[in-house]
C-alpha cells in the first residue's frame, strides 16, 4: 500500500509530532520505501504459528504480593519537570 502525504499526516497526528511541509514530503517517500521492503514478510506462510512477543520464559516471571514496597520520591520525580508547582506537574489549561 502506498504511503501518501495524507497518510503521513494522519500517522503524525497519532504520534503527536508536528511536521513541516518538507518533512511530510520526505517521510512519504522514505516510509513508502521502508514499508515496501517490509512487505516481503507477506510471502511467508504464517498460518497456525503462535506469535512470540518476548523470548523471556514466562514461567520465570513470578507474581509478587500486591503491597506497597517503594515510594516517597515526589521531589525526585518532579525534579526534571520543565514546569512544576507545589509538587505537581504544570501543563497548559486542559478544560475550560
| Residues of the shown chain interacting with other proteins in the complex, contacts defined by CB under 8 A | 8, 11-12, 14-19, 23, 27, 30-31, 33-35, 37-42, 44, 46, 49-57, 60-62, 64, 73, 76-77, 79-83, 89, 91-94
**Residue whose C-alpha cell is 489549561:** 93
Using the minimum distance from each CB to other proteins, give the nearer residue, 44 or 68.
Answer: 44
Taking the complex as a whole, how short is the minimal distance between the CB of residue 62 and other proteins, in angstroms? 8
Question: Which cell is 46 given?
Answer: 504464517
3-state secondary structure of 85: strand
Q: Is 51 exposed, middle or buried (0-12, 13-18, 19+ CB in 10 A)?
A: exposed
3-state secondary structure of 88: strand
Using the minimum distance from each CB to other proteins, give the nearer residue, 6 or 62.
Answer: 62
Taking the complex as a whole, how short is the minimal distance between the CB of residue 59 and other proteins, in angstroms? 11
Taking the complex as a whole, how short is the minimal distance between the CB of residue 10 and other proteins, in angstroms? 8
Question: Which cell is 1 given?
Answer: 500500500
Amino acid at each position: 500500500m502506498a504511503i501518501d502525504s495524507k497518510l503521513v499526516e494522519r500517522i503524525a497526528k497519532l504520534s503527536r509530532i508536528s511536521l513541516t511541509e518538507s518533512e511530510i514530503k520526505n517521510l512519504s517517500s522514505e516510509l513508502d520505501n521502508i514499508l515496501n521492503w517490509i512487505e516481503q514478510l507477506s510471502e511467508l506462510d504464517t498460518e497456525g504459528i503462535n506469535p512470540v512477543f518476548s523470548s523471556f520464559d514466562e514461567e520465570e516471571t513470578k507474581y509478587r504480593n500486591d503491597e506497597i514496597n517503594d515510594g516517597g520520591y515526589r521531589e525526585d520525580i518532579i525534579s526534571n519537570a520543565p514546569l512544576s508547582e507545589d509538587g505537581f506537574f504544570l501543563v497548559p489549561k486542559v478544560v475550560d
